[in-house]
């Protein structure tokens, strides 16, 4: 049942009308990304057709669970154009997210894509926040699907006693991810302390404490 639902989900995702896509339509059959090109454009330059192989369309990184022994207890494994060059101009990508018991995929946004998650294992508390500041939240379990609209802040939390995992689909070859806490407290150059202190109604010492915990390498 779960496998059938997953196939149906991604079949529908791949046949969305072009005007619903986050990325521009392709103008040729394939445009395998030349990730080493110095040409800068909206996407990636095409690799010469003679150099295209089946490897450009293959990735096995979602087959196994990611290591979740980190601060957040979660790990995102992306299958985007940077991992699968053949996705260039096709407007789709996937990710696998693994969660330890108690693991959190912290509040973040995808500026270039809507996200659809399919629960492979476990149970998750998920939600997103609208621009009217309304929380839309639900508990989802194995075989179920939840949608996070493009650009809205969202999260997933495993409150269960066993590991959980999802497959996430995006209508962009490179959806982008901006973690809210890291963006604000670990930007380079840093956001001024007085801006964060005023915004969050906390003191400068609290700002510095948060920054130290979110600094790169922590």
- Binding positions: 105, 108, 110, 115, 154
* Binding-site annotation, residues for oxalate: 105, 110, 115
b/e map of 82-98 (b: 16 or more CB within 10 Å)?
ebbbbbbbbbbbbbbbb
* Binding-site annotation, residues for Mn(2+): 108, 110, 115, 154
Q: In whole angstroms, what is the distance from residue 5 CA to residue 26 CA? A: 28
DSSP labels for 118-159? EEEESEEEEEEE-TT--EEEEEEETT-EEEE-TT-EEEEE--
The DSSP secondary-structure symbol of 102 reads T
Q: In whole angstroms, what is the distance from residue 218 CA to residue 214 CA? A: 6
């Amino acid at each position: 049942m779960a496998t059938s639902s997953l196939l149906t989900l991604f079949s529908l995702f791949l046949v969305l009308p072009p005007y619903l896509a986050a990325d521009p339509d392709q103008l040729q059959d394939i445009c395998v990304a030349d990730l080493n090109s110095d040409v800068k454009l909206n996407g990636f330059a095409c690799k010469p057709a003679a150099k295209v192989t089946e490897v450009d369309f293959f990735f096995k990184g979602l087959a196994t669970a990611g290591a979740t022994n980190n601060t957040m207890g979660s790990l995102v494994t992306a299958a985007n154009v940077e991992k699968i060059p053949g996705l260039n101009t096709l407007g789709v990508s996937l990710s696998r997210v693994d969660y330890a018991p108690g693991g959190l995929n912290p509040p973040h946004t995808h500026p270039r894509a809507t996200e659809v998650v399919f629960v492979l294992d476990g149970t998750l508390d998920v939600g997103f926040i609208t621009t009217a500041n309304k929380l839309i939240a639900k508990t989802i379990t194995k075989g179920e699907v939840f949608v996070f609209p493009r650009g809205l802040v969202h999260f997933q939390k495993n409150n269960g006693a066993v590991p959980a995992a999802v497959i996430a689909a995006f209508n962009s070859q490179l959806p982008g991810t901006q973690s809210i806490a890291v963006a604000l407290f670990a930007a380079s150059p840093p956001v001024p302390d007085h801006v964060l202190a005023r915004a969050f109604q906390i003191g400068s010492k609290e700002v510095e404490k948060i920054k130290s915990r979110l600094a790169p390498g922590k």
